[in-house]
Structure 1
Amino acid sequence: MGVVFYLVFVAVGLVAAFALTKVLKGIKLI
């Protein structure tokens, strides 16, 4: 149970980091 929660947490973190990077790149392009 704890391992699954950890994997989900890591996945969400990676997605959030990717989205944040895309947003920052978008701001730089503007």
Structure 2
Amino acid sequence: MIEGTGHWIQLDQPGEFSRRLDRFLETEGR
């Protein structure tokens, strides 16, 4: 399950969004 799917849009920090997205992709890759 993706954590904070409906919340990442509210994040002001692009780095945080990128970090979450990268983590999600890494999890999906495995």
TM-score (norm 1): 0.58
CA drift of 1:6 comes to 0.2
- 1:1-30, Cα deviation, whole Å (9 max, x unpaired): xx6100000000000000000xxxxxxxxx
What is the CA RMSD across the aligned residues, in angstroms? 1.4
Structure 1: 5+ residue runs without aligned partners? Answer: 22-30
Structure 1 segments of 4+ aligned residues over 2 angstroms from their partners = none
Aligned counterpart in structure 2 of residue 14 of structure 1, from 20, 23, 27: 23
Q: 5+ unaligned residues in a row in structure 2: which ranges?
A: 1-11
Say which one has the larger Rg: 1
